[in-house]
Amino acid sequence: MSSRILLVDDEPKILRGLRRVLSDDQSAWDVSTAGGADEALVRMRQIDFDAVVTDANMPGRDGFALLADFEAIHSEFSDPAGRAVEAECPS
């Protein structure tokens, strides 16, 4: 079974670029994307992602707050195994 991964960034080109790179091994990744924290939260409640990769600086809720939400939402799903939390550091 492929890993479910959510990419979050307010720059759509970043999301497209990452998705293309990850498509190299499509059997390994099941990639979803969100253009901001609000959209990401909606997705997180629908799907129990294994990993979230998010931009740190975004308008409104930033990446760090989003990851804290992700941890809380993720623990509500029955299967707590194999989760990963990662934030892209601001450059």
Partner 1 sequence: MKKRVLLVDDDPMMLRLVAQHLRGAQYEVLTARDGREAMRVMLAERPPLVISDWSMPDMTGLDLCKAIRQTEGINFVYLIILTAQAEKERVVEALAAGANDFLGKPFDGKELLARVNAGMRIVTLESDLTCKTTELYKANAELRGAHAQTRQILESMPSPLISVDREGQVSEWNQAAERVLGISAIDAWGHRFDELDIAWDRAAVTRAISECRSTRQPVRVDEVRFRRPDGGDGVFGITVAHVQTCDDTDEAFLLVVSDITEHRMLQIQLAQAQRLESVGQLAAGIAHEINTPTQFVSDNARFLQNAFPKLQDLLARYRQLLDVCRAGPAPAELLDDVEAAVRKVKPDYLLEQIPGAITDSLEGLERIAKIVRAMKDFSHPGQQGLCAADLNKAIESTVTVARNEWKYVAEMKLDLDPALPHVLCMLGDFNQVILNIVVNAAHAIADAGGDSGQGKGTITVTTREADGQAEIRISDTGPGIPEEHRDKIFDHFFTTKPVGKGTGQGLAMARRVIVEKHHGTLTFETEVGRGTTFIIRLPVGPDAQATTEKPENELAYSAGR
- Name the residues that contact partner 1, by CB under 8 A: 11, 13-14, 16-18, 20-21, 23-24, 26, 37-38, 57-61, 90-91
User: 13 or 42, CB closer to partner 1?
Assistant: 13
Whose tokens are 């979050």? That residue is 8
Minimum distance, C-beta of residue 81 to partner 1, in the bound complex (Å): 29
What is the arrangement of strands in the sheet containing 51-54, beginning at the earlier edge strand? 29-34, 3-8, 51-54, 84-87
Q: Pick between residue 64 and residue 77 the one whose CB is nearest to partner 1.
A: 64
The helix/strand/coil state of 44 is helix
Shortest spacing between CB 25 and partner 1, in angstroms:
10
Q: Give the CA distances from residue 24 to residues 17, 37, 45, 60, in Å, rounded to whole numbers and listed in that order.
A: 12, 26, 27, 32
Provide the minimum distance between the beta carbon of 80 and partner 1 in the complex, in angstroms, as a whole number: 28
Nearer to partner 1, 16 or 80 (CB): 16
